[in-house]
Amino acid sequence: MLQINHSNPILYYKLDPGEWGSSSAATASNSISRVASHESSNLQRFESKANKEGCYIVDKDLYLNLVKQGSYLAAISGHSSVATYCPKKDKTERIKSGIGSKINARITKYTYDEFKLKTMLKAVKSNSLKSIYKNDLKKIESRKLELQQKKMRIYTQITLLLAQNIKFDPSMIDISV
């Protein structure tokens, strides 16, 4: 049982929303060990999660907010954080961005061709040429849509391959449509 004492007051704690741990009270004399153990268990939880995801811990930080309470230096709050590096996620993003930029370049080219055809369609007087331009325009719109759908399928396939640690050469992926 905690004794009420003005030189060693009781401190009450509240956890952040969604945070794990105990929000039990502590005396000022025990507050530093109470908050430090809570924050260090947060660090351990962060490290465990990072290890399960195949990430490396780059930096750890534990901070205690210390103030004088009664006759003691007491911890009234704390903060812990971990910086990680995840090579799998980094590799996935590099591969996806490389392929994505190639597909986006093709989509941009189709958009330019589409604009050019729409401009020509407005200027042309002949019905036969209008028909040809409209047909070409439909083909370009269809190719753009196919490319966008293919981009999403490729991203899904890459994610699945990398999740299973299957090595592949990104240059072998066909992005033609």
Distance CA 136, CA 117 (A): 8
Phi and psi at residue 46, in whole multiples of 5°? -60, -45
Closest CA to 70 of 133, 98, 109, 28: 28
Q: How far is CA 83 from CA 11, 61, 93, in A?
A: 30, 9, 18
Backbone angles phi, psi at 145, to 5 degrees: -65, -45
Q: First vs last Cα of the chain: how many Å apart?
A: 74
Per-residue pLDDT 10s for the chain (177 aa) are 555 667 888 888 888 777 777 778 888 889 899 999 999 999 999 999 888 888 888 899 999 999 998 889 999 999 999 988 877 666 667 677 777 777 888 888 888 888 888 888 888 888 888 888 888 888 888 888 888 888 888 878 777 777 777 776 666 666 666
156-165 long-range Cβ contacts below 8 angstroms, 24+ apart: 158/92, 158/95, 158/96, 158/99, 159/92, 162/88, 162/91, 162/92, 162/95
Tokens of 165: 């640690």
Alpha helices, H only, 53-174? 87-123, 127-163
What 3-state class would DSSP assign to 78? strand
